[in-house]
Chains A and B, each alone.
Chain A
Amino acid sequence: MSEVRIQQVTPNLSTQKPRRSFLNKIGFGFLYLLLGTFAIIQIYPLVWLVFFSLKTNKEVFGMSPFSLPQSPQWENYTKAWTSGNIGVYFFNSVWITVLSVVLTIILASFVTFAVTRMNWKLSGPVLGLFLVAYMIPLHSTLIPLFKMYNSANLIDNPLSIVLSYTAFNLPLTIMILLGFYKTFPREIEEAAVMDGCSVHRIFFQITLPMTVPVLSTTAIINMIYNWNEFVFVNTFISSDKWKTLTVGINNFVGQYLTDWGAIGATLVISIVPILLAFLFLSDKIVEGMAAGSVKG
């Protein structure tokens, strides 16, 4: 944010003097150079990962990370897909992630709405409870949760995972939603109240649609967290039929030998769905804002 000038793209509003256009171009060029470099830094890992998945164990080590695989080991992919139950893991990852994300978003929206829009004395403390819940380190909860689920006979039941993900993502989601809810003006809701709408109508038909962009944002965040989560699945699930992709990756980390190519292939396989979902959802953010921004 230094001497760079951002050129107005709505030229009918500005009056650009011709002699500044050269400087502008340089500034612009410089800006794009920075942005482009950053883009390369961000996309490189994905490229690297694909190369990585096609290498043999030997190539993974000695050669530079830039190097292309000498002969692409597509077998790594077949190996990843066939040994172990990747198909099962895949589906588990999908439905557990989706269910948890949906639950989290709905519950979080309820809470944030109640806390920011409704009048009650305890709203502060309740919000505080959610904030403090964010601060607990994950591993502190492993053994207590295991014991609890065990007595409730929920060990080796994916429900334990869904509930855990929802609970642990609620604080973060609420905090993000909170930041956004505060910027939405209240006039619309106040108008609706005067029109005689019930609380529920206000929430579902007015507030919720306004928040679609931020809901998509939190959906992405939650989705990524759940999809890549590992510790809970490893601890609470024992049967193969309920395991998720992240656990499947560890199928290839041995006691003494690690099959890096297969791990790479599994990582690529596991990133594809989430990449697609991400692209889909992030468009929603933009659409949502274009269509749903506050007008009058």
Chain B
Amino acid sequence: MKTVMSNKFAIALYTLPALLLILVLIYIPIALSGYYGLMDWDGIGEMTFIGLDNYITLIQDKLFWSSTWHSFLLAIFSTASLLLYLAISLVLASKIKGSDLLRKIYLIPMLLSSVAIAQLWMKIFDPTNGMANKLLEFFGVENTPIWLADPKIALYAIFIPIIWQYAGFYILIYYAALKNVPDEVIEAAKIDGASPFQIAYKIKLPLISGVFKVTIMLAVVGSLKYFDLIYVMTGGGPNGASEVMASYMYKEAFKLNNFGYGSAIGFGLLVICLLMTWLTSQLTKSKDDVQF
């Protein structure tokens, strides 16, 4: 049996096409990115080799570290929101009435492009005419916040649409995972007298722990390299209050003609993602997956 599953030819056949694609289309750009980081280049004229200068500047760059911190915060909030999505999925996956319809509705925002989401939320956050403040005024709040214009809360305000954008994504995955749990196991537990809570906590969760760990990783890395809504809704402002690593990189490379430095930032982002992934996997390490 081992020989069948060690068929080298099959292994190569199955992995090489995909491997080739990412090596060429992803790893070469990564390498080039690191390479450009060694240059003083405005993206237009000639490149000048300056060694590790960009990287040294990067390490001392306050703006970079504040943007990194903002990315971290997003990662933390995203991961925390996973619990909420898990809870919702648990409810949806149990056989309550209407779960089918609800499931479909919950996933709808996933279909919207960032353009639509940005427009919607900018209207909601409009300090004078927007829904957020109108709601607050309805409840008697007098000095309604100016949301995206306030440096202290702009970052947190913009987390809301970002996290909301991905609700459908995670609910979809958790739902599929939960549905995968064989019915017999659940039935057996019910016969044994387990309450829904016990079933959820002691049976379902452990059985989808593999998937859950994957989503943690996705949430962390996805947050660290997030770009879209930040750029469109606040541009990283006011004055850098909502800047994240990817938007900072974009700005430096594409807007400020510091392509060399921008590449270094991109490379820095990559390294930080690597570190965080390693850290997360260490923190979520457990015994191997549960076998039936």
- Please list the residues of chain A having a beta carbon within 8 angstroms of any beta carbon in chain B: 1, 5-10, 13-14, 31-32, 35, 38-39, 41-43, 45-46, 48-49, 52, 61-66, 107-108, 110-111, 113-115, 117-120, 126, 129-141, 143-145, 148, 163-164, 166-168, 170-172, 174-176, 178-180, 182-183, 185, 190, 193-194, 197-200, 202-203, 213-214, 216-217, 220-221, 224, 227-228, 230, 246, 249, 260, 263, 267, 270-271, 274-275, 278-279, 282, 285-286, 289, 293-294
Cα(A138)–Cα(B227), bound, Å? 9
Q: Which residues of A contact B43 (CB under 8 A)?
A: 143
Q: How far is the CB of B206 from chain A (nearest CB, A)?
A: 11
Q: Does B158 contact A (CB under 8 A)?
A: no
Cα(A141)–Cα(B29), bound, Å? 5
Q: Which of B77-112 contact A (CB under 8 A)?
A: 87-88, 90-91, 94-98, 100, 102-112
Q: Are A113 and B14 in contact (CB under 8 A)?
A: yes
Cα(A46)–Cα(B211), bound, Å? 30
Q: Which residues of A contact B119 (CB under 8 A)?
A: 52, 260, 263
Cα(A278)–Cα(B110), bound, Å? 10
Q: Are B249 and A200 in contact (CB under 8 A)?
A: no
- Complex partner residue of A135 from B14, B249, B270, CB under 8 angstroms: B270
Q: Are A65 and B124 in contact (CB under 8 A)?
A: yes
Q: Which residues of B contact A114 (CB under 8 A)?
A: 10-11, 14-15
16 A-B Cβ contacts within 8 A?
A: A1-B90, A7-B96, A9-B95, A9-B96, A46-B112, A62-B129, A111-B19, A118-B10, A133-B26, A136-B225, A137-B227, A137-B266, A137-B269, A163-B21, A176-B173, A282-B103
Q: Are B270 and A136 in contact (CB under 8 A)?
A: yes
5 nearest CB pairs, A to B: A140-B266, A135-B273, A179-B211, A141-B29, A144-B29
Q: How far is the CB of A218 from chain B (nearest CB, A)?
A: 9
Q: Are A49 and B112 in contact (CB under 8 A)?
A: yes
Q: Are A42 and B176 in contact (CB under 8 A)?
A: no
Q: Which among B207, B211, B246 has the highest number of chain A CB atoms within 10 Å?
A: B211
Q: Are A200 and B26 in contact (CB under 8 A)?
A: no
Q: Are A199 and B25 in contact (CB under 8 A)?
A: no
Q: By the criterion of a CB under 8 Å from any partner CB, how many residues of chain B are at the interface? A: 111
Q: Which of B4-47 contact A (CB under 8 A)?
A: 4-8, 10-11, 13-15, 17-19, 21-30, 32-33, 36, 43
Q: Does B49 contact A (CB under 8 A)?
A: no
Known: A141-B33, A286-B100. A135 touches B115 (CB 8 A): no
Cα(A228)–Cα(B109), bound, Å? 12
Cα(A113)–Cα(B10), bound, Å? 11
Q: Which residues of A contact B169 (CB under 8 A)?
A: 221
Q: Are A118 and B180 in contact (CB under 8 A)?
A: no
Q: Are B22 and A275 in contact (CB under 8 A)?
A: no
The prevalent SS among residues of B at the interface is helix
Q: Are A293 and B21 in contact (CB under 8 A)?
A: no
- Please list the residues of chain B having a beta carbon within 8 angstroms of any beta carbon in chain A: 1-2, 4-8, 10-11, 13-15, 17-19, 21-30, 32-33, 36, 43, 87-88, 90-91, 94-98, 100, 102-117, 119-120, 123-124, 129-131, 134, 164, 167-169, 172-173, 175-177, 179-180, 182-183, 190-191, 196, 207-208, 210-215, 217-218, 221, 224-225, 227, 245-246, 249-250, 253-254, 259, 263, 266-267, 269-270, 273-274, 277, 289, 291-292
Cα(A13)–Cα(B183), bound, Å? 14
Q: Which residues of A contact B23 (CB under 8 A)?
A: 129
Q: How far is the CB of A250 from chain B (nearest CB, A)?
A: 9
Q: Are A65 and B112 in contact (CB under 8 A)?
A: no
Q: Which residues of A contact B291 (CB under 8 A)?
A: 185
Q: Which residues of B contact A135 (CB under 8 A)?
A: 221, 224-225, 269-270, 273-274, 277
Known: A171-B22, A293-B183. A278 touches B131 (CB 8 A): no
Q: Which residues of A contact B221 (CB under 8 A)?
A: 134-135
- Complex partner residue of B129 from A41, A63, A216, CB under 8 angstroms: A63
Q: How far is the CB of A55 from chain B (nearest CB, A)?
A: 11
Q: Are B113 and A180 in contact (CB under 8 A)?
A: no
Q: Are B1 and A193 in contact (CB under 8 A)?
A: yes
Q: Are A199 and B176 in contact (CB under 8 A)?
A: no
Q: How far is the CB of A7 from chain B (nearest CB, A)?
A: 8
Residue of B nearest to A189 (CB): B5
Q: Which residues of A contact B214 (CB under 8 A)?
A: 175-176, 178-179
Q: Are A224 and B111 in contact (CB under 8 A)?
A: yes
Q: Are A139 and B249 in contact (CB under 8 A)?
A: yes
Q: Are A6 and B270 in contact (CB under 8 A)?
A: no
Q: Are A144 and B28 in contact (CB under 8 A)?
A: yes
Q: How far is the CB of B93 from chain A (nearest CB, A)?
A: 10
- Complex partner residue of A8 from B183, B190, B208, B277, CB under 8 angstroms: B190
Q: Supply 13 further A-B pairs (C-beta < 8 A) apart from A45-B116, A64-B134, A278-B111.
A: A5-B196, A6-B94, A42-B168, A45-B112, A117-B5, A138-B225, A139-B266, A179-B215, A183-B180, A185-B291, A199-B7, A282-B104, A285-B179
Q: Are B22 and A130 in contact (CB under 8 A)?
A: yes
Cα(A194)–Cα(B2), bound, Å? 10
Q: How far is the CB of A233 from chain B (nearest CB, A)?
A: 12
Q: Which residues of B contact A9 (CB under 8 A)?
A: 95-97
Q: Which residues of A contact B207 (CB under 8 A)?
A: 183
Known: A139-B253, A200-B10. A190 touches B1 (CB 8 A): yes
Residue of B nearest to A104 (CB): B18
Cα(A183)–Cα(B124), bound, Å? 42
Residue of B nearest to A198 (CB): B4
